[in-house]
């Protein structure tokens, strides 16, 4: 996880103080890229404990197409989204909606008709049939619905690339909470690459993480320094149930993480 630790150190050394929506304040840098070769191991941070079941829970919730935080908490075991939800748990048309049922209209026979687009399944189908396409993209940044979302998407666009029988993915993230959020983002998209590689009969390649505003909240600086004082341990290995051939058929029991030896967790508050 050297790329992640290098980013933390870079922001500590070069970050600019900025105010932010939450009122907490950050030190921030603009424009940064990390690369992780998934053949070398699964990129789950070892210098503090990261709950992989929660990473999976949020990812499976996205893939399900749900936008309800109560379902995310009760069915998938990830509660953080409740911080932004309405009383009934609704978050508006966030990630799951945009990934699996992007809403649009087309005119047919002089009538404007509503229909939805399953971006994730479309990309999987394209990887199978046209792997050299430069349009293997899923976007969560639906401009027409941003004002309906409890929180506009931070990790907003990802693109796949197939070469030498391996599947790689580059993510663009407009805003990144480096201490709390980014370890989850890295592990989530790495897991997604493993899943899509399996259902398209490819090996895993690289995860490339490109960030716009990379920031450390001011109330996380002490924790970041504690984390950087710890020596990273070898990366774990992730294996999937080879019987799963459809992206919608994955469940918690289809993932096996081996060799994850981490330091203890480091607590920090979420800025809402």
Which residue numbers are catalytic?
Answer: 154
Shortest CA distance to 124 belongs to which of 99, 141, 96? 99
Distance of CA 14 to the CA centre of its chain: 25
Task: Go through the chain and tell me how many residues it has.
Answer: 272
Shortest CA distance to 182 belongs to which of 194, 193, 169, 171? 171
**Are 30 and 7 a contacting pair, CB within 8 Å?**
no
Q: Where is 72: in which H helix or E strand?
A: helix 69-76
Q: Mark residue 206 as left, alpha or beta (left: phi above 0; alpha: psi -120 to 50; beta: remaining).
A: beta
């Amino acid at each position: 996880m050297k790329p992640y630790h290098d980013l933390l150190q870079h922001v500590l050394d070069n970050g600019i103080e900025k105010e932010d929506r939450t009122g907490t304040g950050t030190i921030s840098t603009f424009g940064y890229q990390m690369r992780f070769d998934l053949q070398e191991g699964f990129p789950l941070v070892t210098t503090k404990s990261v709950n992989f079941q929660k990473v999976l829970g949020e990812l499976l919730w996205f893939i399900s197409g749900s936008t309800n935080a109560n379902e995310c908490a009760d069915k998938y075991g990830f509660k953080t989204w409740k911080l932004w939800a309405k009383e009934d748990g609704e978050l508006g048309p966030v990630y799951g909606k945009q990934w699996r049922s992007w809403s649009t209209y087309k005119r047919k026979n002089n009538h404007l008709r509503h229909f939805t687009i399953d971006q994730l399944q479309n990309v999987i189908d394209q990887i199978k049939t046209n792997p050299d396409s430069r349009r293997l993209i899923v976007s969560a940044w639906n401009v027409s619905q941003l004002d309906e979302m409890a929180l506009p998407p931070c990790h907003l666009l990802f693109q796949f690339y197939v070469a030498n029988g391996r599947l790689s993915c580059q993510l663009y993230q407009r805003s990144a909470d480096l201490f709390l959020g980014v370890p989850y983002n890295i592990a989530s998209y790495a897991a997604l690459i493993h899943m899509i590689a399996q259902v398209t009969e490819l090996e895993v390649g690289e995860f490339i993480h490109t960030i716009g505003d990379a920031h450390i909240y001011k109330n996380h600086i002490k924790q970041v320094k504690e984390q950087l004082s710890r020596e990273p341990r070898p990366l774990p290995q992730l294996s999937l149930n080879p019987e799963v051939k459809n992206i919608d058929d994955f469940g918690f029991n289809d993932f096996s993480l081996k060799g994850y030896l981490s330091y203890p967790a480091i607590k920090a508050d979420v800025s809402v």
